Amino acid sequence: MKIRLTGNGKIFTAETWEDLLKTLKDSTWFTCNEIEYMAGVNKRIMVLCGKEIEYSDAETFLKELARLNILEIEEG
């Protein structure tokens, strides 16, 4: 599966939702675990967009980002 960030077009690929989340997180300067990363992204979205996202797991988190047009998901 693959995601593409809509802001800069950067592409990330992985076999699972969890690996995709890890790859995305590891591309940033944040030195936290995936749960902390998702919570931090949620806080930034709240500040910038006034919306809260669900992030109970990697798949839900990434699909929420797609719903907000922050990224595009290509499964397969």
For the stretch 28-44, pLDDT in tens is 887 899 999 999 999 99
Enclosing domain of residue 11:
1-30+69-76
pLDDT of residue 6: 94
Does residue 60 lie within any of the structural domains? no
pTM: 0.90
On whether residue 17 sits in a domain, the answer given is yes
Give phi and psi for 11, each to the nearest 5.
-110, 140
Q: Are 54 and 65 in contact (CB under 8 A)?
A: no
In this structure, is residue 52 part of a structural domain? no
User: Once rounded to an integer, what is the mean pLDDT over residues 16-38?
Assistant: 93
**Predicted pLDDT at 64:** 97
Residue 74 included in any domain = yes
Q: Give a yes or no: residue 64 inside a domain.
A: no
Number of folded domains that form the chain? 1
Residue 6 maps to a domain: yes
Residue 8 within a domain: yes
Domain annotation covers residue 42 = no
In the predicted model, is pLDDT for residue 5 greater than 70? yes
pLDDT of residue 76: 61
Find where tokens 């936290």 sit: 32
